[in-house]
């Protein structure tokens, strides 16, 4: 699909333009907004089919590549556009309103891109990879969950094995989203066979470096198009492909902040799509009821309130991240790590609340799958939000650390 063909696409039936989630820090954000809207126009046309068939949203991702949206975070010196996390989050929000699977794939790609860009600059191999990622619009997959450890991304079972300047890795990856369709995979691993489970590295493998043997299928309620199957990953490469920084550093400075901000932006987009359908339902009901709103109208207010709270949380977290982005000590500090982890918990719960309230607003019309205000797909997709890196795990980890701090004595302190 060419850029010229994308330009000629008609407007989709579902509104997919962004709703000003954040202030854009630069004028070029207008260009990002326009390009994101074009991809969303493609995504929304295929969203129902992607969900029904549980297939990769090839049309939307091809459109994103054609419009150069994959390498936005790379610095201009390496061929990218030097986009901010705020700008990428807006794209995730826009795509989330159109197709949740497309949006989540794009968000997960950008999380890996952010890790490689922040921690790979200065490494010859990774700088060359970043240039190629931008030039060829590579799609990066993530492999951070493994075996019995499941969602504990700070523990790895499989080690990097070294043979001179070469490395080998074989890991039981319980989930690699869109693994078959990716152009490269960015994976955690134990630093060496004699290293502890938490002594991890992050390594980039090109598609030609690895094979995938499917071990688990992906037949789920929602987020079906992410194709998050399980695989045995077998990879061989050069030692230079290991990012120089320990994963502990990457996790705190890049992985957690970008993942939780961009995932939350996707969930906000899904919630916005549901709220928009509830709004459409109320307008139709008011028109047929001589201007009188139905008894379910208060649920629209609840849904809208949850969405507003989400947007405020995400906006605050983005501002905080940008303010300390160049301060590794501040990024690793307990207060920021606690805040960014709780963003994931709070935004996922608010998103579920917004979508379920929108469903109750529309009643049977929204419950039906054959209605133009159906919220079935949005509900199934958003139910994944509290499960991705399970909220209970995050709350338990934060609680253990919070025992060492005092409860604030003032409202703004």
> Do both 377 and 293 map to the same domain?
yes
Instruction: Name the domain count of the chain.
Output: 3
> Do both 235 and 361 map to the same domain?
no
> Do both 172 and 258 map to the same domain?
no
Q: Please write the tens of the pLDDT for every residue from 286-342.
A: 998 778 899 999 999 999 999 999 999 999 999 999 999 999 999 999 999 999 999
CATH of the domain at 264: 1.20.140.10
* Residue 190 belongs to a domain: yes
* Residue 410 belongs to a domain: no
> Do both 379 and 259 map to the same domain?
yes
* Residue 17 belongs to a domain: yes
CA distances 407 to 1, 394, 399, Å, are 55, 19, 12
| Ramachandran category for residue 407: left, alpha or beta (phi over 0 → left; psi -120 to 50 → alpha) | beta
User: Pairing between strand 210-216 and 161-163?
Assistant: unpaired
Q: Please write the tens of the pLDDT for every residue from 342-386.
A: 999 999 999 999 999 999 999 999 999 999 999 999 999 999 999
* Residue 301 belongs to a domain: yes
* Residue 307 belongs to a domain: yes
Look at residue 412 in the predicted model and tell me its pLDDT.
Answer: 82
Is 21 in contact with 311 (CB distance < 8 Å)? yes
Question: Can you tell me the distance from the alpha carbon of 331 to that of 322, in angstroms, rounded to the nearest whole number?
Answer: 10
CATH of the domain at 81: 1.10.540.10
> Do both 292 and 377 map to the same domain?
yes
Q: Please write the tens of the pLDDT for every residue from 146-202.
A: 976 567 899 999 999 999 999 999 999 999 999 999 999 999 999 999 999 999 999
The distance from CA 266 to its chain's CA centroid, rounded to whole angstroms, is: 6
Burial status of residue 349 (CB atoms within 10 A of its CB: 0-12, 13-18, 19 or more): middle
Helix (H) or strand (E) holding 215: strand 210-216
Look at residue 406 in the predicted model and tell me its pLDDT.
Answer: 83
The pair of three-digit structure tokens given for residue 374, joined into one six-digit string: 């159906």
> Do both 282 and 348 map to the same domain?
yes
Task: Using pLDDT thresholds of 50, 70 and 90, give the confidence band for residue 407.
Answer: confident
> Do both 255 and 388 map to the same domain?
yes
Look at residue 194 in the predicted model and tell me its pLDDT.
Answer: 97
CATH of the domain at 203: 2.40.110.10
Residues 219-230 as b/e (b if ≥16 CB within 10 A, e otherwise) read eeebbbbbbbbb
What count of Cα atoms within 13 Å lies in the side-chain half-sphere of residue 260?
32
pLDDT exceeds 60 at position 10:
no
Final residue before a domain boundary, out of 106, 137, 168: 137
Q: Please write the tens of the pLDDT for every residue from 20-78.
A: 323 334 444 579 999 999 999 999 999 999 999 999 999 999 999 999 999 999 999 99
Name the CA radius of gyration of the chain, rounded: 21
pTM for the predicted model, two decimal places: 0.92
> Do both 267 and 201 map to the same domain?
no
Q: CA geometry: angle at 97 spanning 93 and 99, to 5°?
A: 105
Among the ranges given (16-20, 276-280, 362-366, 390-394), the one the predictor scored with the smallest mean pLDDT: 16-20
Look at residue 122 in the predicted model and tell me its pLDDT.
Answer: 95
Tell me the percentage of the chain whose pLDDT exceeds 90: 85
> Do both 251 and 385 map to the same domain?
yes
Final residue before a domain boundary, out of 89, 113, 137: 137
* Residue 412 belongs to a domain: no
Range of the domain at 17: 11-122+129-137
> Do both 81 and 228 map to the same domain?
no
Q: What's the rounded mean pLDDT across residues 72-97?
A: 97
Final residue before a domain boundary, out of 102, 137, 172: 137
> Do both 257 and 378 map to the same domain?
yes
* Residue 184 belongs to a domain: yes
Is 80 in contact with 71 (CB distance < 8 Å)? yes
> Do both 304 and 333 map to the same domain?
yes
* Residue 1 belongs to a domain: no
């Amino acid at each position: 699909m060419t850029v010229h063909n994308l330009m000629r696409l008609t407007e989709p039936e579902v509104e997919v333009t962004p709703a000003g989630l954040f202030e854009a820090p630069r004028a070029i954000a207008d260009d990002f907004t326009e390009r994101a809207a074009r991809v969303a126009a493609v995504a929304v046309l295929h969203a129902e089919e992607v969900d029904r068939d549980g297939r990769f949203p090839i049309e939307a991702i091809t459109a994103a590549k054609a419009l150069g949206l994959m390498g936005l975070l790379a610095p201009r010196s390496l061929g990218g556009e030097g986009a901010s996390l705020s700008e990428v989050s807006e794209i995730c929000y826009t795509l989330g309103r159109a197709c949740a699977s497309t949006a989540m794939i794009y968000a997960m790609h950008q999380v890996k891109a952010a890790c490689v860009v922040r921690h790979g600059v200065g490494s010859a191999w990774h700088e060359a990879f970043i240039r190629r990622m931008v030039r060829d619009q590579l799609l990066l997959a993530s492999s951070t969950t493994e075996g019995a450890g499941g969602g504990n991304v700070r523990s790895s079972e499989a080690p990097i094995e070294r043979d001179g300047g070469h490395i080998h890795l074989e890991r039981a990856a319980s989930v690699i989203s869109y693994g078959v369709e990716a152009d490269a995979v960015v994976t955690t691993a134990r630093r060496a066979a004699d290293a502890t489970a938490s002594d991890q590295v992050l390594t980039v493998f090109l598609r030609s470096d690895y094979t995938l043997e499917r071990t688990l299928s992906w037949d789920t309620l929602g987020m079906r198009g992410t194709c998050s199957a399980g695989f045995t990953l077998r990879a061989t490469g050069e030692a230079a492909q290991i990012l120089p920084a320990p994963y502990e550093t990457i996790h705190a400075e890049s992985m957690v902040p970008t993942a939780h901000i961009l995932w939350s932006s996707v969930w906000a987009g899904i919630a916005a799509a549901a709220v928009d359908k509830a709004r459409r339902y109320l307008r139709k009901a008011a028109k047929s009821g001589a201007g009188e709103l139905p008894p379910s109208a208060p649920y629209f207010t609840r849904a809208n309130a949850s969405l507003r709270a989400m947007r405020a949380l995400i906006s605050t977290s983005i501002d905080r991240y940008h303010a300390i982005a160049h301060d590794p000590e501040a990024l690793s500090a307990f207060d920021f790590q606690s805040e960014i982890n709780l963003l994931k918990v709070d935004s996922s719960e608010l998103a579920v609340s917004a979508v379920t309230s929108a469903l109750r607003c529309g009643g049977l019309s929204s419950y039906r799958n054959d209605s133009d205000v159906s919220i079935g797909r949005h509900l199934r997709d958003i139910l994944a939000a509290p499960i991705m890196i399970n909220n209970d795990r995050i709350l338990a980890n934060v609680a253990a650390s919070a025992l060492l701090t005092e409860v604030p004595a003032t409202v703004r302190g």
